[in-house]
Amino acid sequence: MNNLLLPLLLLLVVAVPLVMGTRKQKKQQAAQQEMQNSIAPGDRVMTTSGLYGTVADTSSETTIDIEIAPGVVTTWLRLAVREKVEPTVEGEENEGAAETEVADVESAPETSASSSEAPAQESISAEDKQTSGAQVAPPLEHGKK
């Protein structure tokens, strides 16, 4: 009896976590499959590569069309969709940012030197950006020396 107890106990110690791990993995795969099958036009999604977009068309069984910018629609495999993303409400987000900004301004001590220099630097950089325009780097030429 003692000869069988040790191998049986060792088998239980190894087998139980293995079985529990595969059950958890199967549940996660089933949830992912259900999410991918429930995608509908208008849903905000994130792909496995981190690209956010809005689902435009789901008529195919294997692919979906995702609008990544206004008027830019790309075709993706359904399996590339990682998760549905809840759209953020701009009013709530802006209110929180405005309250934080007001609190930071009120709590920050003012010094005469830094407060007089900061607006001048901001206006100069804004003017430079407007007058200079965007700078475009020349294309890379690979393989040429």
Does residue 105 contact residue 118 with C-beta atoms inside 8 Å?
no
With CA atoms as reference, report the closest residue to 84 among 31, 129, 133, 132: 31
The residue ranking higher by pLDDT, 132 or 36, is 36
| 89 — pLDDT class (breaks 50, 70, 90) | low
pTM: 0.49
pLDDT at residue 115, as a whole number: 44
With CA atoms as reference, report the closest residue to 51 among 72, 33, 37: 72
pLDDT at residue 120, as a whole number: 46
The span from the CA of 39 to the CA of 45, in Å, is 9
